[in-house]
């Protein structure tokens, strides 16, 4: 069995141990470096049925990562956010994304140097088999594989790459200064390239979730965000769910314009949808009726993927990420 196969076996065991429930799924390995992993259904799934149910406490974001889970080289969120958003240079969502990238890079360095870090319950969730290195999507050759960047002009891609490079310089400086002030061993502070790779993971795999995992059900999460423009959003890595690859439109905007079709008429390859909810028992998946089981406010919150249409065995899961 390959190393990545071992990684995935341990990953699925860790998911089960932390309350993640799903239909039978298999990891799809793609030869394309821009999107190396995906998920396929290993059984037929009915329209409306829950595919994946992840407890909020298993999600990795600036709200759930606290205390002993934080690497020594990582500044506290509050201090990092104050530094990154000072004088309006970055928005709060970007600051949270950068802090999460710092967490990934610092955790990897700590695992490389400390035995106790490799025993952390987080270790199976963060292996290379789960989060393989990703390429730079701002290169024109790679941007075409990303639905959100496919029609972006080359000049705008170059500007985005320059902006991200500046952000990498900023967090690298932040970590070095924090490490010196706190007496953190130099070996625990990640190099800039490690930060770049971690930030690519966050940019390409993280999902924006509402603060406190505010329930969106019975509507999907996109509708909650659209109807509540002021809702605080947190970039989050959600085990299993963040392996789902973005859906591809059947036509590009340019093709639709040539055919005199509106954006509303564009179809998508999405076959599943994302919701946030309180811990629930799905008593009728097709209609999404639920029996609500209230426990502690955050412990009861769930991130759930439901089938947006009937899914055949072997079909890859695809989702629209706005």
Q: Could you write out the DSSP letters of every residue in 265-314?
A: G--B---EEEEEEESEEEEETTTTEEEE---STTTTEEEEEEESS-B-TT
- Residue 211's alpha-carbon distances to 76, 158, 214, 216, 319, in angstroms, are 18, 32, 6, 12, 21
Both tokens assigned to 235: 């970039």
Place of tokens 């080359």: 154
Architecture per CATH, domain 14-59+213-322, reads as: Beta Complex (2.170)
This prediction has a pTM of 0.87
pLDDT value of residue 280:
55
- What are the residue ranges in the chain where pLDDT is below 50? 1-3, 252-253, 256, 261-265, 281-295
**Cβ-Cβ contacts under 8 Å for 222 (sequence gap 6 or more):** 273, 274, 320, 322
Residue pair 167/95 in contact by the 8 Å Cβ criterion: no
pLDDT value of residue 29:
87
pLDDT value of residue 260:
52
Rounded (10°) angle between helices 92-113 and 77-84: 130
- Where are the domains positioned within the chain? 14-59+213-322, 66-205
Backbone angles phi, psi at 216, to 5 degrees: -105, -20
Question: Could you give the CA distance from residue 297 to residue 66 in angstroms, rounded to a whole number?
Answer: 17
pLDDT value of residue 113:
85
Backbone angles phi, psi at 147, to 5 degrees: -55, -35
Residue pair 195/101 in contact by the 8 Å Cβ criterion: yes
- Residue 240's alpha-carbon distances to 4, 20, 87, 127, 262, in angstroms, are 15, 9, 37, 13, 34
């Amino acid at each position: 069995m390959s190393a990545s196969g071992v990684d995935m076996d341990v990953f699925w065991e860790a998911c089960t141990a932390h309350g993640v429930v799903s239909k039978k799924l298999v990891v799809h390995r793609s030869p394309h470096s821009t999107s190396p992993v995906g998920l396929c259904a290993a059984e037929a799934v009915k329209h409306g049925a829950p595919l994946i149910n992840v407890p909020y406490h298993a999600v990795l974001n600036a709200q759930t990562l606290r205390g002993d889970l934080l690497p020594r080289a990582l500044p506290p969120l509050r201090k990092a956010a104050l530094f990154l958003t000072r004088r309006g240079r970055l928005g709060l969502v970007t600051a949270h994304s950068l802090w999460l990238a710092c967490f990934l890079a610092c955790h990897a360095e700590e695992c490389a140097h400390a035995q106790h870090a490799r025993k952390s319950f987080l270790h199976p969730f963060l292996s290379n088999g789960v989060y393989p290195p990703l390429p730079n999507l701002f290169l024109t050759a790679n941007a075409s594989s990303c639905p959100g960047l496919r029609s972006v002009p080359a000049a705008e891609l170059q500007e985005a790459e320059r902006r991200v490079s500046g952000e990498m310089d900023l967090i690298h400086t932040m970590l070095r200064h924090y490490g010196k002030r706190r007496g953190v061993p130099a070996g625990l502070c990640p190099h800039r390239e490690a930060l770049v790779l971690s930030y690519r993971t966050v940019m390409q795999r993280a999902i924006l979730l509402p603060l406190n995992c505010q329930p969106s059900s019975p509507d999907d999460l996109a509708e909650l965000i659209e109807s509540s423009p002021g809702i605080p959003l947190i970039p989050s890595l959600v085990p299993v769910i963040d392996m789902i690859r973005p859906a591809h439109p059947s036509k590009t905007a340019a093709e639709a314009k040539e055919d005199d079709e509106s954006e509303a008429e564009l179809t998508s390859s999405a076959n599943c949808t994302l919701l946030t909810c309180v811990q629930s028992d799905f008593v009728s998946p097709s209609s999404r009726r639920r029996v609500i089981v209230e426990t502690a406010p955050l412990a009861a919150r769930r991130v759930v993927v439901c089938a947006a249409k009937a899914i055949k065995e072997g079909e890859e899961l695809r989702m629209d990420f706005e």
